[in-house]
């Protein structure tokens, strides 16, 4: 990442905080108010769980887009870099479960699920 730390906890500590971390995942809590903006930051592959409705305008190397999600949405996010703005009428709250490693190989003898 060009020597620049794009960790959202570093770039936007007023919005992101670590609520759990171990060898496999890091969970971030995110909060903002209408009109708040974040600086450019990066996320690895992640799952986002919205705790409130989300209305955001995102800008990144891939372009710009608007995102609207209801409270309680669970969304897969591939690794990405962006900056965002809360374009909605209310504060945003979400959790990000960031993956620290690639897909795990199945354990020997493990099943594919209920038989």
In this predicted structure, what is the pLDDT of residue 62?
Answer: 85
In this predicted structure, what is the pLDDT of residue 113?
Answer: 47
- Answer whether residue 1 shows pLDDT above 50: no
- H/E element holding 11? helix 8-11
All domains of the chain, ordered by start, with CATH?
A: 15-99 (2.60.120.10)
Residue 48 in tokens: 């986002």
- Answer whether residue 24 shows pLDDT above 60: yes
| 3-state SS class at 2 | coil
The mean pLDDT of 34-42, rounded to a whole number, is 97
> Distance between CA 71 and CA 67 in Å, rounded?
13
Do you know the residue count of the chain? 115
The mean pLDDT of 30-48, rounded to a whole number, is 97
The mean pLDDT of 30-52, rounded to a whole number, is 97
Check if the beta carbon of residue 35 is closer than 8 Å to that of residue 91: no
Residue 67 in tokens: 């995102």
> Distance between CA 11 and CA 68 in Å, rounded?
23
- Answer whether residue 3 shows pLDDT above 60: no
In this predicted structure, what is the pLDDT of residue 66?
Answer: 97
* DSSP result, 84-113: EEE-SSS-EEEEEEEE-SSPPPPPTT--SS
In this predicted structure, what is the pLDDT of residue 54?
Answer: 96
């Amino acid at each position: 990442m060009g020597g620049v730390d794009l960790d959202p906890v570093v770039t936007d500590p007023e919005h992101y905080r670590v609520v759990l971390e171990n060898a496999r995942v890091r969970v971030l809590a995110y909060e903002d108010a209408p009109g708040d903006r974040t600086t450019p930051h990066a996320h690895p592959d992640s799952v986002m769980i919205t705790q409130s409705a989300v209305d955001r305008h995102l800008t990144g190397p891939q372009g710009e887009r608007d995102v609207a999600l209801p409270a309680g949405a669970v969304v897969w996010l591939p690794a990405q870099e962006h900056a965002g703005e809360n374009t909605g009428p209310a504060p945003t709250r979400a959790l990000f479960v960031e993956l620290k490693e690639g897909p795990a190989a199945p354990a020997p003898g493990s099943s594919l699920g209920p038989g």
